A = this chain, B = another copy of it.
Amino acid sequence: MESALDVLFTHIGQKIQLLESDKAALSDFFKLRALKRRQYLLQEGDLCKYLSFIIDGLLKSFTIDDKGNEHISLLAWEGWWISDFESFVKQTQAKLYIEAVEPTTVLMLSKDNYELLLEQFPIMERYFRILYQNSLTRKDSRLISSNTHSAEEKFKLFMETYPTLHQRVPQNLIASYLGLTAETVSRLKKKRFDQDS
């Protein structure tokens, strides 16, 4: 069976050319961790010490506002990275919580190892440059959608972009991800279904 590191290297190999010798050397930089459902990977106020690559499972990152409401900033599953990126990069207090929605395994890369890895493997500069490049285009789209679309348009766009995700993620999390309430999404769903039939 495929090891966690193989999953990671396959992923990296889709963006850059990775030598077998590199793989062996890179392995030591990562640490495997298993999370149970509802377990936290990070809590607000912590230092975000790791970039985490998701081998299997699904995580959410979110803030909690003054009224105690949760606002999801990211839903991430196998093949994606997650962190409180600002906290990780600047080594400041985290603003985000990261919590497992499903039982999850991740490969963690510490800040120190991240810097080392970039020093020692220039090809990884390229990998992360491409990774961030793609991430930026998605964030741009999301920001535009967030500022210009109605609730209905946001929901529709989400369902088109991630057509199968609603089978894995409770509707209230999708609502939160879109900056809507669970009630609103429930009504939008009903509306869509009524129209389709």
Contact = CB atoms under 8 A, between A and B. Distances in A.
Contacts of A135: 132, 136
Interface of A: 63, 65, 71, 73, 85-86, 89-90, 95, 118, 122, 125-126, 128-129, 132-137, 139-144, 146-148, 179
Contacts of A179: 146-148
B143 A136 contact: no
Chain multiplicity (copies): 2
Contact of A132 (B118, B136, B141): B136
Contacts of A137: 85-86, 89-90
A interface majority secondary structure: helix
Contacts of A146: 143, 146-147, 179
5 contacts: A85-B133, A86-B141, A128-B133, A132-B133, A142-B143
Contacts of A143: 73, 139, 142-143, 146
